[in-house]
Amino acid sequence: MTPQIIVIAKEPRPGRVKTRLTPPYTPRQAAALAEAALRDTLAAVAAAPAARRVLALLGEPGPWLPAGYDVVPQRGDGLAERLTHAFDDARSACPAPAVLIGMDTPQVTPGLLAEAGRLLDEHDVVVGPAADGGFWLLGQREPDPALLSGLPMSRSDTGALLLRRIREAGLRTALLPELTDVDTAADARAVAERAPSSRFAAAVAALGMDVPA
């Protein structure tokens, strides 16, 4: 079954997103990079096969949101709880498997998202590992709250702890290629170089690629 795809994101407002980019970027510049990353992510999802496209949003929609998305508010305390609720809410609205990604990997392609959906045909869980030790994608055929409940987030071992839980649950797992989350100025440059035709790369270039790490 073609999965639904969930993007979990924050409204790109200065001082509320990508705070680790400041400095060297100003809060307004960091928000501009966040918006570009979000636009690239939403465009990739729009071009990928999906039973439903969902934006789990913290904040308010803006002109960066294309048509074709169901917007739902994030709920819960802490990222792990918000991810769990995003899966549960998606399942309540649509019985299809769900693939969830964030707004931190603007280099994601429709092909990678389609591959995640194909892997869910034969696996229970699909994970996209991130270079910082986390994960950039999580796909589930059936939502399992135990995978994320209380999971320490934003740590170098977050991805390893998630995979341990998946193994202990006896779930069939597939891995996608590793991608880099945009957290620092060095990350921004690396991702822009990997996806030179993206909106994100254009935004990084407009602000100056020589910003120190």
pLDDT band at 210 (very low <50, low <70, confident <90, very high): low
Rounded-to-integer distance, Cα 37 and Cα 31, Å: 10
Mean pLDDT of 39-43: 98
Q: Is the pLDDT of residue 112 over 50?
A: yes
The pLDDT mean for the chain works out to 95
pLDDT band at 213 (very low <50, low <70, confident <90, very high): very low
Compute the half-sphere exposure of residue 145: CA atoms within 13 Å on the CB side of its CA: 7
Is residue 189 classed exposed, middle or buried when 0-12, 13-18 and 19+ CB atoms within 10 A define those classes?
middle
Question: pLDDT value at position 208?
Answer: 82
Rounded-to-integer distance, Cα 36 and Cα 54, Å: 18
Q: How far is CA 90 from the centre of its chain?
A: 15
What size, in residues, is the chain? 213
| Domain range annotation of the chain | 4-207
Q: In this structure, how many other beta carbons lie within 10 angstroms of the beta carbon of residue 2?
A: 16
Mean pLDDT of 1-7: 95
- What pLDDT, in 10s, does the model give residues 134-186? 999 999 999 999 999 999 999 999 999 999 999 999 999 999 999 999 999 99
- What pLDDT, in 10s, does the model give residues 80-107? 999 999 999 999 999 999 999 999 999 9
Specify whether the CB–CB gap between 9 and 103 falls below 8 A.
yes
Q: In this structure, how many other beta carbons lie within 10 angstroms of the beta carbon of residue 8?
A: 22
**Can you give the pTM of this predicted structure?**
0.95
Rounded-to-integer distance, Cα 204 and Cα 188, Å: 7
Architecture category of domain 4-207 in CATH: Alpha-Beta Complex (3.90)
